[in-house]
Structure 1
Amino acid sequence: MALVSVSGAVRAATTLALWSAAWQGGASPDDVLQAIDGADHRAGVRAATDEIAVMTGLPGPGSPTAGSAALLPLLRDAGEAQLLLPYPGDLRGLPTSGELTVTALDAGAAVTLTGPSLAVVPVNGHWRVFANSARHPADDLAQAHDRLDDEVARATRSLTALDVARQSDGARERVRQLILADAVSTPPDMPRPASALLATSISLQALLTVADSHDTATVTSYQMAAVDDALRPLAIAIREARRAAVAAGVRGLGRRSTGAPRGLGRSL
């Protein structure tokens, strides 16, 4: 199920949104760049069009990419960053068509910078900047928690009834590896409730990915289809939980001044 899978672009976009807010709140440029580069998108940044290049001062199409530091002026005046996690059937926060929509859908993630009405998309190890006036606010933490709890309970009941809820030792190790691979370096002043929900969404995403691989038990074709039906609402709830966690983190970080540079946090 394509909806279940999460690419490295999701981790990169999550990192960018949070550290954009931390940068506005007083984080050091070294910490911001360390976190962004640590998300494995170190190939630089480029404007998607000549118009965006003129607007931002970034290199345009066909030009060599600028280093990650070129993002700092853009993020300083970015306003509130919104994490988008588009998938087929849900393009909220994106134009109905066009290069941005295709690129963001292919990546599975984008960050809208609401101040200058731009979107930054992680693409093949670098960042591409587009114009984007669309918005898609996230749920608040309470809504996201409630939805996640409901869908976890629903999926658990369905998988238990199908007798495919067992896990092998190999599946547990795969879950552990996925959690570590998706870990996000969070700003040190990230609000605890937001950090906790982000960590929960990362852990559940790992479980979901392994469950969707049908490695948890031997299943029939009927069971595979039923598992997909059971996991789809949970996959959406996990995505929305991540978006809610990032939105709460962005709001909290934007109101703070971190003062002297501090070490990076970690959401596992």
Structure 2
Amino acid sequence: MPKDELALDPREVAVLARERLFAGVPDEDVKLALAICQRYGLDPLLRHVVLIPGGKNGRHAVYITRDGLLHVAHASGKAWSLEVGEPERRQNPYTGKEDIYLKGRLRVVDERGREQVFEGGVWFSEYAGKGGAWATYPAAMHQKALEASLLRRAFDVALPPLEEAGEAPPPAPLSPERARALSAAFHALGLKGELAREVACRAVEREVATLKDLTPLEAEELQAYLGALEEASGRGGLPKERVKERLEGWLARHGRGLPQPHELFQEPASEEEA
């Protein structure tokens, strides 16, 4: 299929995001997220923005992700570079307790060759969550928080980054509608039982017993991943049985994480597929 035929117009992107990523979210919150995407040239299908539940009257807060900020930076047309130092263990003057400080520097050069330098640092205790990726990958999350802070300042993004959200409000329970939609996404790929649970655990980087243990945001991101996997399998003409086999093989060879959808179609074909 020609590349142009795969292109979606903004209205189609909005509808797809509404159905696949923001299901169950109030219309006003979805409209706000899409308006912000339009303002900054972001793509909701690539998870450049997320909606986090927990606000008053069931409302959702809109956050931009580090990937969204990187997109803004790359689309700016400016030359830029980001340097991150080594973490330093020192006393936090605000708490009086030992903490870990990470500092960095972002240089931006405009079209006239003028350079601006943005420096800053973040204390680990100010951003660290009480579980999830912060517990499993603390160093990576600390760096993401620093990068998000610098990128936001350098490229004038008013929307708060997800990594700067600090202590997020307690997540709402997973709705039955979201749970059913997620189960359907697994079923569409032929994934069930222990394999489906392992995919969920790797996606959220923690142990979960059932889909009901996921937060709404985790379920939303996992459903988006499964949707991308299904779409890629359709483009590659791979039956769901083969998707399952290749996914099992990838998981067996890698101790953590999940493959990017296109990776499964770069795997060498088995003798049965050949």
Per the normalisation by structure 1, the TM-score is 0.27
- When normalised by structure 2's length, the TM-score is 0.27
Structure of higher RCO (CA pairs closer than 8 Å, 6+ residues apart)? 1
